[in-house]
């Protein structure tokens, strides 16, 4: 075990992998036909302890938990989209969040991840950057008050809520992350640091490190993916969509691409981070073999952590 691995030891952090290596949940056409059973078996084979929930997962909690238990896996997180910044969606957002919370708790999970998708450009076949929403002050108030309410619901259930800044949304750039953190209670709303999304948004592979430094005490969850700058730059310059970028190969796993992960992990270790480190790379499985990338990412983490 390395010195870094002593501070981010297996009793403090868990290593997960997102199912987006095997298929894409936003864009179902990005799919090589890999079934649920193969995906979770390969996640376990690659040496991970957990995985996110994807659209191919069994909807029956008993069936899903049995399949994960068989492979020694846990649920690292579910995903819940919020829509606080658009009309007449507050209560529907809260209801959907409570449904997700009930499910994840039944599966033994402790984390829930949200992102505000009101007005998001990331699912549309349009210029990703030019068409992202820019929230008004009133929308910021609606978002932060809504997140505070979700955080109270999560806390009362013994769960932790983390907010995922995301490409194509109104919380995409570092200054927007700063505003969100400054406008919410640290006991209710934590930050999901997504290294790939913040580097893609800024065009700067050092941006994840700077955001980690700025909000180390708020980080409750981490998505670890890298970027390929030649493709992120092309998306911006040519006005491409998020799907175009994924199919080009803007994202890749730790150990590949432009982001250096050791400095980010050092910041987390200095802050006493405890929680999930989840490898993610929204790649096309028809051209990027999921098991190969999962194993290479796990090998890179072993090199850094020593376990």
pTM for the model: 0.97
Between the alpha carbon of residue 293 and those of residues 20, 40, 182, 222, 290, the distances in Å are 12, 14, 36, 18, 5
pLDDT of residue 103: 94
Using CA atoms, how far apart are residues 283 and 164, in angstroms rounded to an integer? 19
How many other CB atoms are there within 10 angstroms of residue 183's CB atom?
A: 15
Helix, coil or strand: residue 13: strand
Between the alpha carbon of residue 97 and those of residues 34, 109, 114, 123, the distances in Å are 28, 14, 9, 20
The pLDDT tens digits of the residues spanning 40-62 come to 999 999 999 999 999 999 999 99
Question: Percent of the chain having pLDDT more than 90?
Answer: 98
Which CATH number belongs to the domain containing residue 15 in this structure? Answer: 3.20.20.150
* Residue 251 burial (C-beta neighbours within 10 Å; 0-12, 13-18, 19+): buried
Tokens of 194: 């997504």
Using CA atoms, how far apart are residues 41 and 219, in angstroms rounded to an integer? 29
pLDDT exceeds 90 at position 5: yes
Give the domain range for residue 254. 3-305
Using CA atoms, how far apart are residues 20 and 284, in angstroms rounded to an integer? 9
**What is the full DSSP assignment across 70-134?**
HTT-EEEE-EEEE-TTSTT-HHHHHHHHHHHHHHHHHTT--EEEEEE-TT-STTSSS-TTTT---
Cα dihedral 223, 295, 107, 28 in deg (nearest 10):
70
Total domains present in the chain? 1
Using CA atoms, how far apart are residues 45 and 206, in angstroms rounded to an integer? 31
pLDDT exceeds 90 at position 1: no
The pLDDT tens digits of the residues spanning 60-105 come to 999 999 999 999 999 999 889 999 999 999 999 999 999 999 999 9
**193 bridge partner residues:** 222
Using CA atoms, how far apart are residues 208 and 173, in angstroms rounded to an integer? 11
């Amino acid at each position: 075990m390395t010195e870094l691995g002593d501070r981010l030891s297996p009793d403090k952090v868990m290593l997960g992998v997102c199912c987006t290596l095997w298929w894409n949940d936003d864009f179902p056409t990005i799919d090589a036909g890999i079934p649920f059973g193969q995906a979770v078996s390969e996640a376990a084979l690659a040496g991970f302890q957990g995985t996110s929930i994807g659209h191919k997962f069994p909807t029956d909690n008993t069936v899903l938990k049995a399949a994960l238990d068989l492979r020694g896996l846990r649920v690292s997180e579910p995903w819940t989209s919020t829509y606080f910044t658009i009309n007449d969606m507050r209560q529907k957002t809260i209801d959907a969040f409570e449904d997700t919370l009930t499910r994840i708790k039944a599966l033994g999970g402790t984390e829930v991840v949200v992102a505000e998708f009101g007005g998001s450009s990331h699912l549309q076949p349009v210029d990703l950057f030019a068409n992202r929403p820019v929230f008004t002050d009133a929308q910021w108030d609606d978002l932060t008050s809504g997140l505070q309410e979700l955080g109270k619901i999560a806390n009362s259930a013994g769960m932790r809520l983390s907010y995922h800044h995301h490409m194509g949304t109104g919380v995409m750039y570092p200054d927007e992350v700063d505003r969100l953190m400054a406008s919410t209670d640290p006991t209710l709303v934590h930050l999901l640091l997504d290294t790939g999304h913040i580097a893609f948004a800024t065009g700067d592979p050092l941006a994840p490190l700077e955001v980690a430094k700025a909000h180390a005490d708020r980080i409750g969850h981490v998505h670890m993916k890298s970027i390929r700058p030649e493709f992120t730059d092309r998306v911006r310059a040519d006005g491409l969509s998020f799907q175009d970028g994924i199919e080009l190969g803007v994202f890749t796993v730790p150990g590949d691409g432009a982001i250096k992960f050791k400095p980010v992990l050092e910041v987390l270790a200095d802050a006493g981070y405890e929680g999930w480190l989840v490898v993610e790379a929204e790649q096309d499985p028809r051209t990027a073999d999921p098991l190969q990338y999962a194993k290479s990412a796990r090998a890179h983490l072993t090199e850094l952590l020593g376990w």
